[in-house]
Structure 1
Amino acid sequence: MDHLELVNKAIDGDEDSFALLIQERREHIYRMAFTYVNNQDDALEIVQETVYRAFISVHKLKQAQYFNTWLTKIGVNCAIDYLRKKKKVVYVEQVQEASYVQHSREDKMVLYEALGQLDEKSKTVLMLRYFEDRSIKDIADLLDTPVSTVKSIIYRGLEKLKLNLGERELLE
């Protein structure tokens, strides 16, 4: 059974199909959540909330081909809601080595501390673009934002990130 058939069955209420779809995407959801909270327990809580929200609303999904985008959007919203609820400052310092360019642990910490200083929208857009390798159009769809706005957020976010990194170097 292909992916779209599974999604359509899940939309029609087949719990086993939904479980298979989540199984395919669980690692992706976890990585995204961990990037926001930098804590395994908190990331698992976000994954759990993401799966729950997706399960109770999968019947509302109108186009099966957008399941992965829809699920990612739910995950991003759950992570942001979680942060707001917990009122945490998040600094991402750990990522899976195979997924990203190899740098020393210290360099990663500096980068993610600078990323953590950005506003939520900039941080989300930059994470989706550079950590999840999403296209600008995909990000715009995920966030219900015009493509031109996403481009502006990326540009301003990268500028802020450079400033944050520059300030860090001056302090050392």
Structure 2
Amino acid sequence: MAHGLRPVGLDFTETAPLRLVFAAHAAAAPGEVYRALAAEVEAWPQWFRAVTWARPVEREGRAGREVLLRGGGRFLETVIAAEPVTRYAYRTDETNAPGLRALLEDWLLIPTGSGTIVRWTVAVDAPAPVRLALGLARPGLGHAFRGAVRSLDRRLAEARRRAG
């Protein structure tokens, strides 16, 4: 059964009881990565294996997303930062994942001479057992994230080749 989560702002990435931070390099430029994150929401399942379905939605006059994960997790989200080329962040407003009180994901795009450093921060408020379980899942989440960035980078390179 779905339940509502506490609304949080970007500062939650600094104050959350649990912060999971991952980084990976992409050869693609920050603008390409940003477009894939923010404008091509429905394509997420093509490069992020954990995502089985995603679509943009409007939430109380603001951009949002509805996302389904492998295993049945459902997340209804509100975009709280859409800064072209640099940042894309969203909070979860409603989910069927048990135990969560607040959840925010922040994708920061850092340009480099050879592409983009993609930094993904997952900020969570949940009871101690849930935080412990997520902490134990950190290696798997990191692996999934790095695989997703590699897959996205290949997808973007192929799109450049087709356009070129």
Confirm or deny a common fold (TM above 0.5). Answer: no
The TM-score, its normalising length taken from structure 2, stands at: 0.30
> Of the two structures, which has the highest relative contact order with CA contacts closer than 8 Å and spacing of 6 or more?
2
Which structure shows the bigger proportion of residues in helix conformation? 1
For the pair shown, the structure with the greater C-alpha radius of gyration is 1
The TM-score, its normalising length taken from structure 1, stands at: 0.29
